[in-house]
Amino acid sequence: MKQSFYASLLDNNKQWVEEELKKDPEFFKKLKDGQNPPILWIGCADSRVPANQIIGANPGEIFVHRNIANMVVHTDMNMLSVLDYAVNVLKVRHVIVCGHYGCGGVKTAMENTSVGLIDNWIRHIKDVYRFNREELVAIEDPKERFDRFVEINIREQVYNLAKSSIVQAAWGRDQFLEIHGWVYGVENGLIKDLDINIENNKELSDVYQLNGIY
Ligand code: CO
């Protein structure tokens, strides 16, 4: 089954091109000179959470970074490069961290089974568990606890964005930049806004606040 799906990919591509051109003969011409997306999406690599599709975004409308469990790790050169380019070159107005219920990375972080090299990536999520241990262990129902941990991890990654020099510098020069935390329901397709609003670095724990940065 996998093989036949693979075999259809290039045909699917040709069909997609035809359909887009039928709707708008200029579709690809309009895209060839560059991009100006207003949004950076940081999401999970999970195949069930395709960024563009679930929010009806067309090519050119969102800049996307995905990794296991939508993490914002401040030493991750890949994530930092995407963030820097999005904020400082593309001048996106919104950064969305979109996690999802049922996230395998988050689930693994709650457990003790080794999954190989990824243990070291999952470690960052285990740290989030430790910071919020009291709240999480108080939730008796395992599914509820898992769902809450997914949400808490998203919140933590939104704060990690706010702590970054890139975001603090943008705020320091009064560049419009809002960061958001969303959670996607794999079982119903719906996104919930977790309503995490950080608008300046004064809302960060004092040790993370960088002064004179712009
Ligand atoms: Co996931």
Do 146 and 168 fall within a single domain? yes
Q: Are residues 95 and 26 in the same domain?
A: no
CATH number of domain containing 197: 3.40.1050.10
Q: Measured in whole angstroms, how far is the alpha carbon of residue 88 from the centre of its chain? A: 18
Clarify whether residues 43 and 24 are in a common domain.
no
Residue 213 in domain = no
CA distance 187 to 100: 10
Question: Is there a contact between 97 and 158 (Cβ–Cβ < 8 Å)?
Answer: yes
What is the Å distance from ligand 1's center to 99 Cα? 7
68: its two tokens: 């296991």
| pLDDT at site 36 | 96
Count of the separate structural domains present in the chain? 2
- Is residue 119 one of the residues assigned to a domain? yes
Strands (E), 69-118: 94-100
Q: Are strands 178-184 and 191-193 parallel, antiparallel or unpaired?
A: antiparallel
Is position 46 annotated as part of the catalytic site? yes
**197 CA distance to ligand 1 middle (Å):** 23
Q: What is the pLDDT of residue 197?
A: 84
- How far, in Å, is the centroid of ligand 1 from the Cα of 19? 31
Q: Is 100 a catalytic residue?
A: yes
pTM of the model: 0.95
- Identify whether residues 8 and 61 lie together within a single domain: no
> Residue 187 C-alpha to ligand 1 middle, in angstroms?
13
Q: What span, in angstroms and rounded, lies between the C-alpha atoms of 97 and 70? A: 7
Same domain, 178 and 93: yes
E strand segments, the chain: 39-44, 62-67, 94-100, 178-184, 191-193
Residues 134-174 have pLDDT tens digits of: 999 999 999 999 999 999 999 999 999 999 999 999 999 99
Amino acid at 40: L
* Full strand arrangement of the beta sheet holding 94-100: 62-67, 39-44, 94-100, 178-184, 191-193
Q: Which domain holds residue 175?
A: 35-208
Q: Note if 74 is an active site residue.
A: no
Q: Tell me how far the alpha carbon of residue 69 lies from the centroid of ligand 1, in angstroms.
A: 4
Q: Residues 23, 75: one domain?
A: no
Residue 48 among the catalytic residues: yes
Assess whether 143 and 199 both reside in one domain: yes
Ranges of residues in the chain with a pLDDT under 50 are: none
pLDDT of res. 3: 65
Query: One of 48, 74, 123, 133 is an active-site residue; which one?
Result: 48
Same domain, 146 and 84: yes
For residue 21, give both structure tokens: 């051109």
Give the closest residue to 42 by CA, choosing from 143, 211, 166: 166
